[in-house]
Amino acid sequence: MARMAGLAGVLALAAAPAAAADKPTTKGSSQLAATQPAGAQPLDPATAAWRGKALAGEKAANLPIALEAWERVIDACPSAGDEQRVEARAHIARLRPKVPRNTDPAKARPWRVLVVIFRHLEFSWKDGDKTFEASKTVSQADEAKIRQSVASFGRHVFHYSSGMLRMEADFAVIDQPLRKLGGEGKGPFAPAPHLVRWATDPLIAKKQYETVFCYVKFNGDKGPAVPAQFIAATYASIADVGGAGFVTVPWHTNYPFPGEASGEMEIHEWLHQVDWMFCHVLGYAEAIVPSPDEGRQEGDNRPGGDPEYARRKDETSWMRFYQHIMEDHITRRMWSQATMRRAPAKSDGPHGATGVGDKTGGAAANLYPGVHPENLIRQRKR
C-alpha cells in the first residue's frame, strides 16, 4: 500500500513560478490574512488568493467559480503544502458532482491508444529435463472481451476526467504467431516490448500513440497455461514504442475477475503511466497524483496509502478509488494538458518543467531476465 519509490534515472525538472495568469491579485495584507485557515501555517500569497476566491464563490453559490479556484490550489500553486491540497480536494469532491461536465467527446483532448492483440502464441519452455509446449489462440469471443474491456476503459476515462480526455483506440490483430516472450528457463514469462517490435514498429511508424497495450493469451487451448509473472505491467515512455507508454498483458480468459469492473485492469495500469507523466513530462509535483496502488481498505490504519479514500468492506472493486484519483487529485486543466510528449521549453505545470523525462523512465528490481526493465513501473499481481 505504501507509495512506490520515485523513479530512478529520470531527468531532473527545474522549478519555476506559476504563470502570472494563475496569480489572483489581492488588495492588502489584511485581506490576505482573512483567507488563512484558522490554526494553520501561513499560506503563500497565491494559495491564499485562490483559497479566498474559492470560499467566496461557495458563499455566493457560484459553484463553477468555486470549483475552478479550488483546482488552481492544486495545479497552479507549487508552494501549496499537503494540508492545503487536502483541504482543496475535500471541497473539489463535494463540488464536482454539482458542476456540469463536458459531455461532447469532440471537445475532449484525444489520448491515442494502440491495442495490439496477438491472435496466436506458439511457445515452449523447459523445466529441468521436461519441455512444455503451449499453443494459444485468441478466439472471436476472446477478442470481443478484450475490445469490450478497452471500450469500458475509454468510457471510464472520459467520465472521470470530467469529459476533458477521450481515448482514441486503434486495434491491430496480428495473425503471425508470437514465438518469443520475456523470461527464461521455467519462467515466469510476459510479452516484452522489445520482442514484439517486429509487429509494433510498422504500426507506430504510421501514427504517434500515447499508450500501447499488448495482449497475449496465456491459458486455455492446447498445452498448459504459460507461467505469468503478473496480471499486467506498465512501462513509462520507452523508445521500443516510439516514446509511448507500454502495458504488457499476459491475458487470461477469466478476466475481468469476479467482482471487478470491465476495463478495471486497463485503467489501473494506465493510471501508473498517468502518475509518471504528470510529474516527469508536465512537471507537476509528484505528491499531487497518487499511485493507483495506494488504495486503502476501510478500517486499515497502517501507514501508507491515500488517507482520503477507503474502500468499503462491501465493495469488490477499486473503481471508486480510481475515480477519486482522477476527479479529486487531477484537475480539469491537468487533463486538458495530458500528453506523453511536449514541445521543448514549454511549461504546463506550475513547476515549469522545460524538458521531458529521459527515455529510461525508471528502474525496477527483480524482473525476469531477457526483458529491458529500465522503464517498468508497475506489476500487478493477484
289 with 255, same domain: the answer is: yes
73 with 125, same domain: the answer is: no
Task: Give start and end residues of each alpha helix (H) in the chain.
Answer: 29-34, 45-59, 63-75, 82-95, 140-160, 197-204, 264-280, 319-324, 332-337
191 with 284, same domain: the answer is: yes
Phi/psi of residue 94, each to 5°?
-80, -35
Is residue 167 a part of any domain in this protein?
A: yes
Q: Write the DSSP string, 141-160.
A: HHHHHHHHHHHHHHHHHHHH
Is residue 74 a part of any domain in this protein?
A: yes
Question: For the chain, what is the domain count?
Answer: 2
364 with 331, same domain: the answer is: yes
Give the pLDDT confidence of 266-318 residue by residue, as tens digits. Answer: 999 999 999 999 999 999 999 999 999 999 998 888 888 888 999 999 999 99
Is residue 3 a part of any domain in this protein?
A: no
52 with 185, same domain: the answer is: no
40 with 139, same domain: the answer is: no
CA quadruple 337, 343, 347, 352: dihedral sign:
positive
At 38, the pLDDT band (50, 70, 90 cuts) reads: low
45 with 127, same domain: the answer is: no
Average pLDDT over residues 75-88: 94
Q: Would the pLDDT of 373 be above 50? A: no
Give the pLDDT confidence of 224-242 residue by residue, as tens digits. Answer: 999 999 999 999 999 999 9
50 with 147, same domain: the answer is: no
Strands 232-235, 245-251: pairing is: antiparallel
Longest alpha-carbon distance in the chain: 81
User: What is the spatial distance between Cα 169 and Cα 207, in angstroms, rounded to a whole number?
Assistant: 12
Share of the chain above pLDDT 90, in %: 73
* Mean of the per-residue pLDDT values of the chain: 83
Phi/psi of residue 311, each to 5°?
-75, 130
Is residue 14 a part of any domain in this protein?
A: no
Is residue 7 a part of any domain in this protein?
A: no
Q: Are 171 and 158 in contact (CB under 8 A)?
A: no
What letter would DSSP give residue 21?
G
Last residue of a domain, one of 98, 130, 146: 98
Share of the chain above pLDDT 70, in %: 78
Containing structural domain, residue 198: 108-380
42 with 139, same domain: the answer is: no
214 with 78, same domain: the answer is: no
Helix (H) or strand (E) holding 111: strand 109-118
148 with 286, same domain: the answer is: yes
